[in-house]
Structure 1
């Protein structure tokens, strides 16, 4: 067994590409080795800003020789069939064998593949991988044809075993593989040789390179949180930034600096966003005030002055950046306090969609819809319209122009600064939510109203112009909007018939849109553990565009079917429905009324009449009150009398009067059960 070590050493790889590139190197190399006959025990991929590395343990020393026999067409087969077989095998007709079989003579191809040493296979596979590497962006340099994300300087490729290591004979675009690499660009730039992975990792560590990205991230976080804790502060968690910064340095050195007093009045979100986006700094917060008061930067080297010069330079650059943010904030505050409506009016100059008008047009539609929805939610219609009219005003502010990710949040600050109530200001931030399946759902009445109106408007708008999601394409995030509507309705327990709310749409388009939201609801409920057939059984009932009603029914039915009574009643219903359907098809009539207890001949038959009367009397008011649990409980009481009826009674009696009466009795079972849910859609 051999151990393979590969390192592709280049100029700095963009941090966002490193992890994917390391996985691509691992997958493409190991797939290629296995396909060539070299199996292995384990493999690990690593990345730093200047290198991709792969370690493959337990690799075979070579691919064994193989002999494969392939049965081909008959000797008298059409010429095209024989030529196709020859192409697939790479042989000539003279190479084929002829063998006798029961149905005649057939061609047989015997393909012998000689064994190959691991070195040759590794060289062949690695060259293919490097030349066809799937970088999102790549470049050529010098006079060569090789493309790489940044200029590739060297290739380390060695096979090691107990008796030593050897360099794989490989050259790609003038770069010959060797057993040397380099350490940190500044702290240990000299080349050194390695004999295997353990030697490689140890020497890199001595040369000021942390090979593992996770180790770098852990080191950064530990040092940053320790430094903050020592001053009674805390680092704001930012997993994405931590991952990115770990991809910017090979030897992370954590430094904590101060934010100038002139900037501490800025909203913490502004400070955090500016420092993260422009400087890749972590924010350090005072837990008592919630204010951002420090920053953490990560250098790529140690210095004689313990980072003082680096920190000083970073603080100067940060001051310049934050001066811009302060300028935007101060200007925006002046506008918000004097004429907030100017921003809303400026939306007339921003096109939302060429067929749906400007953002101002969209805001007007959301205002109208908010007035309509507000009473259902228990909010004041005029307050809802006011909040909807201001919710998107910050889109034309200077701060949001610079930092689009702060939309809504800045609106909340500006609307409050203009003197509006906090619940109106909160709508600016909340009405975009929920943005995804794990995002928080707003619960304040005004926020719920405008969030619903905003999502329903975008859905109705694009449905009106026939711009619907197709396949995996959803450029306007309409599936996300539909899920947002669902979560808003269910979280708030709102009773709203969507078909009525969407009355401005033509009837067919409104029905189609509700069906689209139903599809999203099916996915959502399946994730909640409700079977698809249970959902279908409830969707088939009246009022299915009232999602709260629909989900309450589905939950009650799902719970009912988990019980023995529910499962057995379902079987009794299906039996009754099947007998009835066959009889109706045979007789050409519908048995839907007229069952009379005076024609009952057995005690079991009479007991079923009585049970159906009792159930009907209980189920009807329970359904009227939308007490689905009570309706299911009353329906469960039918299990025993239905079982007893089928055990003692023959439905297709010789007497046609008795037969019709019993079929009409089965029709009562069907009618009562289908009044609760469409049990015909339940599987099993």
Structure 2
């Protein structure tokens, strides 16, 4: 079946926008094709430095004929409503059908040529494209990320003709800006297009560009007994800056290696887009770097390497100046400057925030490790943890906040645990980041994140939908990971509102869902009002394992049946209260369930007291047989009022017994 090839060639597209642009192009094309009844067999897009490309396989030559039934106005509606409906459908009144007092029209639409639909589709996509930032160039009214230069649109080997603000569609594109032929070239389909781009020094697929960068950069390093420092974020960025990536290994002045390695790597990464290189024997940075050129230089890249080394030396010289100057001022002496740094208009200065973190750390410390040394060191680290924000290096490299504070604290000779806490108090900053587990570091990291959460919830700045400007979701997940990793029994209610506790529940669902747990079990555990995350997770894990067994699944079914009966009876009047007792002449199954209730209650109480949730589930499992037998043989709504009330009490006793473990009404399975 025919193939559609689309290329939008422009001036350089920012690397950070390319991946989303490719996804948006695919989404918009797919939605518009499906709306017209055109279902491609395959659709793929590519984003690069100068072009967005789409290829759709297996499109029909024509849109299928469509027959639609359109609902019109009521037969009693004014004539104007009917006349408008007739104009819309292009039919006359005698062609309408009346059903239940409403006019209906059956409209037959002949399918249009796919090329005609594609022409409209591409024009709509280009004009409505959701670039985060765009511009208008020259006399054109078209807004695009950078000036749009060419449009290739070929369907089934033929040009799809249209024009957008003076730019005609065609089958002509061009290769690399410097290495490709000066002459544009024609393409007839995607294979021809991709092959000719390659010959004209353009690697179309971003994944192929990334693989080329890694392979050639590692080869260069290996030849010099060096090792490339992997950086996935930098790789994504540089792959979007070039069309024909050529790694070049350069040398830097070894004297700069006395700077903290984070300073060197950040300077390389942020300012120059260089990859760092290490010595595999020592694991330390080597005096080299890898830059990614967009051309294959005739001298093998020597001139590029030399020029880049000079620029890097200038950057690192600045960094060394800040590093040397910063160590002349103690962290404690920087605190006064924090009064001039606004944290948030409603929450005061960064100095005010530090005071809150200190108080929070002192309150949290006993739960992490209950000794005076931990509390004292945590308070000291908390008081100094933001001081590096007014240092020269962090002013130049904000990414190094906390890290530089650790270096400055170490240079002052502060306690190693205080140094570690300052250095790592921002952690974890993502799902793959390490968690601080040493007691002082964990305390300060928890205090920092809890202050953020409590403060912003306190002024009503809560995340909404996809909007989370203060990264509160990340902060909550950080608290959860630290608490669970260190098994800190932190009573969250003591530190936040009910809204914040519910927010933690939502974040815990995300965390456990990623680990394969069911979100409804988190609801069932949180519903008990517990705020101890360690205990909640243990309860959830035991509950999940229990419900995966036959005993668990059947007992849950029995629980729901009991609850339904109790709810139905509650509508008639108050339920009988108290404990169901043995009665003369009662069925054996009723007596057996009463005995099982008593035995399970004793076992359950002991297990829960020891936080043995596996044992608690085993205690509940003993109820499964008696509950099944009770429902099978015993009539709850007996004509004898005393029997009915006792059996309702028994069902309520079983419900309440299970409710000590979790709120089973929250379980959806």
Q: Do both proteins adopt the same fold according to a TM-score greater than 0.5, normalized to the shorter chain? A: yes
Unaligned runs of 5+ in 2: none
2:247 to 251, 254, 266: 254
- Tell me the equivalent position of 2:620: 635
1:190 and 2:190 correspond: no
| Whole-Å separation in 2 of the counterparts to 1:27 and 1:640 | 53
The alpha carbon displacement at 1:402 in A equals: 0.8
* Alpha carbons of structure 1 residues 138 and 475: separation in structure 2 relative to 1, 3 Å: closer
2:380 to 380, 386, 395: 386
> CA contact under 8 A between 2:67 and 2:106: conserved in structure 1?
no
- Tell me the equivalent position of 2:576: 590
The alpha carbon displacement at 1:411 in A equals: 1.4
* Alpha carbons of structure 1 residues 62 and 286: separation in structure 2 relative to 1, 3 Å: same
| Whole-Å separation in 2 of the counterparts to 1:105 and 1:654 | 53
| Whole-Å separation in 2 of the counterparts to 1:616 and 1:652 | 25
1:173 and 2:168 correspond: no
TM score, norm. by length of structure 2 = 0.89
Secondary structure, counterpart of 1:334 in structure 2: coil
- Tell me the equivalent position of 1:263: 256
- Tell me the equivalent position of 1:545: 531
> CA contact under 8 A between 2:251 and 2:305: conserved in structure 1?
no
Task: Give the number of the structure whose alpha-carbon radius of gyration is greater.
Answer: 1
1:514 and 2:514 correspond: no
Q: How does 1:181-220 map to 2 (within 5 A)?
A: 181-197=173-189, 198-220=191-213
| Whole-Å separation in 2 of the counterparts to 1:159 and 1:357 | 61
The alpha carbon displacement at 1:257 in A equals: 0.7
| Whole-Å separation in 2 of the counterparts to 1:34 and 1:646 | 53
The alpha carbon displacement at 1:530 in A equals: 3.9
| Whole-Å separation in 1 of the counterparts to 2:114 and 2:526 | 64
Higher mean alpha-carbon deviation, 416-425 vs 7-16, is at: 7-16
* Alpha carbons of structure 1 residues 202 and 360: separation in structure 2 relative to 1, 3 Å: same
* Alpha carbons of structure 1 residues 606 and 26: separation in structure 2 relative to 1, 3 Å: closer
| Whole-Å separation in 1 of the counterparts to 2:54 and 2:173 | 14
Cα deviation 1:31-67 (Å, max 9, x = unaligned): 5456556665444433442333333444444456767
The alpha carbon displacement at 1:408 in A equals: 1.1
- Tell me the equivalent position of 1:229: 222
1:405 and 2:399 correspond: yes
- Tell me the equivalent position of 1:5: 5
Higher mean alpha-carbon deviation, 583-592 vs 77-86, is at: 583-592
| Whole-Å separation in 2 of the counterparts to 1:117 and 1:86 | 28
* Alpha carbons of structure 1 residues 149 and 576: separation in structure 2 relative to 1, 3 Å: closer
Cα deviation 1:486-507 (Å, max 9, x = unaligned): 22222222223222345xxxxx
Cα deviation 1:222-263 (Å, max 9, x = unaligned): 110011112221111112222221222222222101111221
| Whole-Å separation in 1 of the counterparts to 2:311 and 2:143 | 35
- Tell me the equivalent position of 1:359: 350
| Whole-Å separation in 1 of the counterparts to 2:519 and 2:320 | 53
> CA contact under 8 A between 2:227 and 2:280: conserved in structure 1?
yes
The alpha carbon displacement at 1:444 in A equals: 0.9
- Tell me the equivalent position of 1:341: 332
2:317 to 316, 323, 328: 323
Secondary structure, counterpart of 1:55 in structure 2: strand
* Alpha carbons of structure 1 residues 652 and 331: separation in structure 2 relative to 1, 3 Å: same
1:302 and 2:296 correspond: yes
2:133 to 133, 137, 141: 137
| Whole-Å separation in 2 of the counterparts to 1:654 and 1:205 | 87
1:560 and 2:546 correspond: yes
Q: How does 1:435-446 map to 2 (within 5 A)?
A: 435-446=429-440
* Alpha carbons of structure 1 residues 79 and 614: separation in structure 2 relative to 1, 3 Å: same
Secondary structure, counterpart of 1:467 in structure 2: coil
| Whole-Å separation in 2 of the counterparts to 1:66 and 1:97 | 21
> CA contact under 8 A between 2:575 and 2:648: conserved in structure 1?
no
1:495 and 2:489 correspond: yes
Secondary structure, counterpart of 1:5 in structure 2: strand
| Whole-Å separation in 2 of the counterparts to 1:315 and 1:176 | 44
The alpha carbon displacement at 1:148 in A equals: 3.0
* Alpha carbons of structure 1 residues 37 and 458: separation in structure 2 relative to 1, 3 Å: closer
Higher mean alpha-carbon deviation, 282-291 vs 18-27, is at: 18-27
The alpha carbon displacement at 1:88 in A equals: 3.4
| Whole-Å separation in 1 of the counterparts to 2:633 and 2:226 | 79
* Alpha carbons of structure 1 residues 84 and 268: separation in structure 2 relative to 1, 3 Å: farther
> CA contact under 8 A between 2:454 and 2:495: conserved in structure 1?
no
| Whole-Å separation in 2 of the counterparts to 1:667 and 1:299 | 74
| Whole-Å separation in 2 of the counterparts to 1:473 and 1:536 | 24
| Whole-Å separation in 1 of the counterparts to 2:101 and 2:601 | 74
* Alpha carbons of structure 1 residues 63 and 374: separation in structure 2 relative to 1, 3 Å: closer
TM score, norm. by length of structure 1 = 0.87
> CA contact under 8 A between 1:64 and 1:116: conserved in structure 2?
no
Cα deviation 1:541-594 (Å, max 9, x = unaligned): 35x02222222223223322322333333444555555566667657463304x
Q: How does 1:556-635 map to 2 (within 5 A)?
A: 556-575=542-561, 588=574, 590-593=576-579, 595-597=580-582, 599=584, 601=586, 603-635=588-620
Secondary structure, counterpart of 1:254 in structure 2: strand
Cα deviation 1:638-667 (Å, max 9, x = unaligned): 333444455555556666556655555555
1:462 to 456, 471, 493: 456
> CA contact under 8 A between 1:495 and 1:546: conserved in structure 2?
yes
Q: How does 1:410-489 map to 2 (within 5 A)?
A: 410-489=404-483
Query: Would you say how many aligned residue pairs link Structure 1 and Structure 2?
Result: 664
* Alpha carbons of structure 1 residues 71 and 632: separation in structure 2 relative to 1, 3 Å: closer
* Alpha carbons of structure 1 residues 238 and 104: separation in structure 2 relative to 1, 3 Å: closer
The alpha carbon displacement at 1:109 in A equals: 6.3
Unaligned runs of 5+ in 1: 503-509
Cα deviation 1:142-161 (Å, max 9, x = unaligned): 33333333333333344454
The alpha carbon displacement at 1:127 in A equals: 3.5
The alpha carbon displacement at 1:414 in A equals: 1.4
The alpha carbon displacement at 1:437 in A equals: 3.7
> CA contact under 8 A between 1:160 and 1:195: conserved in structure 2?
no
Q: How does 1:38-57 map to 2 (within 5 A)?
A: 40-57=40-57
> CA contact under 8 A between 2:576 and 2:648: conserved in structure 1?
no
CA RMSD, Structure 1 to Structure 2 (Å): 3.3
Higher mean alpha-carbon deviation, 275-284 vs 628-637, is at: 628-637
The alpha carbon displacement at 1:273 in A equals: 0.9
> CA contact under 8 A between 1:72 and 1:109: conserved in structure 2?
no
> CA contact under 8 A between 1:98 and 1:106: conserved in structure 2?
no
* Alpha carbons of structure 1 residues 427 and 155: separation in structure 2 relative to 1, 3 Å: same
> CA contact under 8 A between 1:139 and 1:150: conserved in structure 2?
yes
Cα deviation 1:278-323 (Å, max 9, x = unaligned): 1111111112333322101122222332222122111111111111
